[in-house]
Amino acid sequence: ETPSKPKGVSGSGRRNFIVTGLQDIDKCRQQLHDITVPLEVFEYIDQGRNPQLYTKECLERALAKNEQVKGKIDTMKKFKSLLIQELSKVFPEDMAKYRSIRGEDHPPS
């Protein structure tokens, strides 16, 4: 809340208004104990930039990394299936044994 400035008040009134305003801000400190702020946001504020840009960039980076890791997982899965396929052509009995072992422990994903 931003209280309106007192108009037509004498100098002493204005100064004590500032003091009471600072007292109110000091009281707000207790409400902020649970809030944690990443230090990187301060870099944005110190440069005069909107801190929402930090949130935006965090989300964009998270999405980009998510896509990157998903790509790796999908590629590895494809590689695994191709490898089993080709190995089964060359070593059919061994691969049948391998599949039976893997099948007991872990169902095919």
Partner 1 sequence: MENFTALFGAQADPPPPPAALGFGSGKPPPPPPPPAGGGPSTAPPPTATSAPTGAEKSTAGGGPFYLMRELPGSTELTGSTNLITHYNLEQAYNKFCGKKVKEKLSNFLPDLPGMIDLPGSHDNSSLRSLIEKPPILGGSFNPITGTMLSGFRLHTGPLPEQCRLMHIQPPKKKNKHKHKQSRTQDPVPPETPSDSDHKKKKKKKEEDPERKRKKKEKKKKKNRHSPDHPGMGSSQASSSSSLR
User: Which residues bind to partner 1, rule: CB under 8 A?
Assistant: 2, 11-12, 15-16, 19-20, 22-23, 26, 39, 42-43, 45-53, 55-56, 59-60, 62-63, 65-66, 68-70, 72-74, 90-91, 93-94, 97-98, 101-102, 105-106, 109
- Between CA 4 and CA 27 the distance in angstroms is 19
The phi and psi torsions of 37 (rounded to 5 degrees) equal -120, 130
Contact 87, 96 (CB under 8 A): no
> How far is 23 from 17, CA to CA, in rounded Å?
10
CB of 32 to partner 1, least distance (A): 14
* CB of 45 or CB of 82, closer to partner 1: 45
